[in-house]
């Protein structure tokens, strides 16, 4: 895990990445977050924690996920392109790496119940899954509008034994569900753990989630060494919603400046269209979801409603680690539009027989914005599979 001599891109003792991060929370939430902050490193560094985490990742999630040399895609982009197959994880995406980690942590903190919020329902399903696995009671708050839009995920959670509670306030979407989940946690501080689904939220969540997802780049180093004799690629591409799959894919390369790290945001209908989720292009510093970060906001600081064809990238901010990586220039941030991502998703289907999640298709779409050298080694983190997006592919129709 983090190298103490070289922490420039990791969180500091106060919970900050450069000027971003911290814990901007109501006083009522302080004891809950403080309990986590005091214990998370101690617990996740214990050998028996590591052992149980690794064992479940192996036997339940299906790790290590393959690193696949995509030959036909490589030809197309005139480089050697590998796909890190997070789409092959149980439940279809990387999110389960984090929920497994957090539920093991919750158990060791003596918690009996889990609360979470979900937007598109993917994090809700990953949370419901690990709660069933551990026999823990689970409540997921979800905006009423999102429940109507994402019916299959609501039913998945219910089949798994989770109680899905509609958030009826405000716009009845993700931020309202977040408020209700926070309120629930405030009212149930002793027996309940709150599972956040990305590298967002108050310290220590961003660091904790990044550590759980860092298994992605840990495996990449081993697998690249087997494939090429060198753990370091020339490029790593990952899409960014809140930024957890990207944080995991970048984690063990952050201090190796020869590895070009590329984060791909959702430009929606275009960065300047008024309908996008390209946070670094449009955002300014502010406080969102308990931390100081970059977020899309109006002149007077109202959060701007984000838009992307991909529900997982439809978030008005990014995790504070990414705000810092953008600020320092360590990671290059680019964006891909709905059209570009859909075309890239269909292209991967045609060239490699893999239909990616539309989130992951954004990372693929960015390849065409780069001029590679013939011998460049490029890794694209394929964060999830496209099954959940079939309706969107069908509506898109151009295949």
Ligand X SMILES: *Cc1c(COP(=O)(O)O)cnc(C)c1O
Q: Just list the catalytic residues.
A: 95, 117, 383
**115 is a contact residue toward ligand X (CB under 6 A):** no
Work out how close the CB of 102 gets to ligand X at its nearest, in angstroms, rounded to a whole number: 14
Q: Which is nearer to ligand X, 68 or 80 (CB)?
A: 68
**268 is a contact residue toward ligand X (CB under 6 A):** no
Per-residue x/- mask for ligand X, residues 37 to 76, rule CB under 6 A? ----------------------------------------
Per-residue x/- mask for ligand X, residues 281 to 320, rule CB under 6 A? -------------------------------xx-------
Q: Which is nearer to ligand X, 223 or 360 (CB)?
A: 360
Q: Which is nearer to ligand X, 192 or 245 (CB)?
A: 245
**244 is a contact residue toward ligand X (CB under 6 A):** yes
Return phi, psi of residue 235, to 5°: -140, 145
Work out how close the CB of 359 gets to ligand X at its nearest, in angstroms, rounded to a whole number: 3
Q: Which residues contact 215 (CB under 8 A, 6 or more apart)?
A: 57, 63, 97, 248
Residues β-bridged to residue 331: 261
Span from 46-54, 130-138, 167-175, 240-248 in contact with ligand X (CB under 6 A): 240-248
**383 is a contact residue toward ligand X (CB under 6 A):** yes
Work out how close the CB of 28 gets to ligand X at its nearest, in angstroms, rounded to a whole number: 27
Given 2, 118, 150, 198, the residue binding ligand X (CB under 6 A): 198
Q: Which is nearer to ligand X, 236 or 240 (CB)?
A: 240
**243 is a contact residue toward ligand X (CB under 6 A):** yes
**124 is a contact residue toward ligand X (CB under 6 A):** no
393/398 Cα distance (integer angstroms): 8
Work out how close the CB of 270 gets to ligand X at its nearest, in angstroms, rounded to a whole number: 20
Given 100, 240, 266, 341, the residue binding ligand X (CB under 6 A): 240
**241 is a contact residue toward ligand X (CB under 6 A):** yes
For every residue of the chain, which 3-state class applies, written as one string? CCCCCCCCCCCCCCCEECCEECCCCCHHHHHHHHHHHHHHHHHHCCHHHHHHHHHHHHHHHCCCCCEEECHHHHHHHCCEEEEEEHHHCCCCECHHHHHHHHHHHHHHCCCCEEEEEECCCHHHHHHHHHHHHHCCEEEEEEEHHHHHHCHHHHHHHHHCCCEEEEECCCCCCHHHHHHHHHHHHHHCCCCEEECCCCCCCCCCHHHHHHHHHCHHHHHHHHHHHHHHCCCCCCEEEEECCCCHHHHHHHHHHCCCCCCEEEEEEEEECCCCCCCCCCHHHHCEEEEECCEEEEECECCCCCECCCCCCCHHHCCCECCHHHHHHHHCCCEEEEEEEHHHHHHHHHHHHHHHCCCECHHHHHHHHHHHHCCCCCCCEEEEEECEEHHHHHHHHHHHCCC
**263 is a contact residue toward ligand X (CB under 6 A):** no
List binders of ligand X among 325-364 (CB under 6 A): 357, 359-360
Work out how close the CB of 241 gets to ligand X at its nearest, in angstroms, rounded to a whole number: 3
**384 is a contact residue toward ligand X (CB under 6 A):** yes
Work out how close the CB of 31 gets to ligand X at its nearest, in angstroms, rounded to a whole number: 27
**146 is a contact residue toward ligand X (CB under 6 A):** no
Q: Which residues bind ligand X (CB under 6 A)?
A: 93, 95, 122, 198, 239-246, 312-313, 357, 359-360, 383-384
């Amino acid at each position: 895990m983090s190298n103490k001599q070289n922490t420039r891109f990791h969180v500091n003792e106060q919970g900050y990445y450069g000027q971003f991060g911290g814990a901007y929370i109501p006083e009522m939430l302080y004891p809950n977050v403080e309990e986590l902050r005091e214990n998370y490193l101690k617990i996740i560094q214990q050998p028996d924690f590591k052992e149980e985490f690794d064992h479940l990742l192996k036997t339940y999630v299906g790790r290590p996920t393959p690193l696949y040399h995509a030959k036909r895609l490589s030809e197309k982009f005139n480089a050697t392109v590998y796909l890190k197959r997070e789409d092959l994880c149980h439940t279809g995406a990387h999110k389960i790496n984090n929920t497994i980690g957090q539920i093991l942590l919750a158990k060791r903190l003596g918690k009996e119940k889990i609360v979470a919020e979900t937007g598109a329902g993917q994090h809700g399903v990953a949370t419901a899954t690990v709660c069933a696995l551990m026999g823990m009671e689970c409540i997921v708050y979800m905006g009423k509008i999102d429940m109507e839009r994402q019916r299959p995920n609501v039913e998945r959670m219910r089949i798994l034994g989770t109680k899905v509670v509609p958030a009826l306030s405000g716009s009845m979407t993700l931020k309202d569900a977040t408020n209700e989940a926070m309120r629930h946690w405030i009212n149930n501080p002793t027996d309940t753990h709150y599972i956040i689904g990305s590298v967002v939220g108050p310290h220590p969540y961003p660091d904790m989630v990044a550590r759980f997802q860092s298994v992605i780049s840990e495996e990449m180093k081993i697998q690249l060494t087997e494939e090429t004799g060198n753990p370091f690629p020339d490029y790593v591409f990952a899409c960014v919603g809140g930024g957890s799959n990207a944080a995991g894919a970048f984690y063990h390369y952050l201090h190796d400046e020869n590895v070009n790290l590329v984060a791909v945001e959702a430009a929606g209908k275009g960065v300047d269209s008024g309908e996008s989720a390209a946070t670094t292009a449009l955002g300014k510093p502010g406080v969102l979801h308990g931390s100081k970060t970059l977020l899309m906001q109006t002149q007077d600081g109202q959060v701007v409603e984000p838009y992307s064809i991909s529900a997982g990238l439809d978030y008005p901010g990014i995790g504070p680690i990414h705000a810092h990586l953008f600020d320092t220039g360590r990671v290059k941030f680019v964006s891909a539009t709905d059209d570009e991502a859909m075309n890239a998703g269909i292209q991967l289907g045609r060239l490699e027989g893999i239909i990616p999640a539309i989130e992951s298709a954004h990372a693929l779409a960015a390849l065409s914005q780069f001029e590679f050298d013939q011998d460049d080694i490029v890794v694209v983190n394929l964060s999830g599979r496209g099954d959940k997006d079939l309706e969107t592919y069908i509506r898109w129709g151009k295949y």
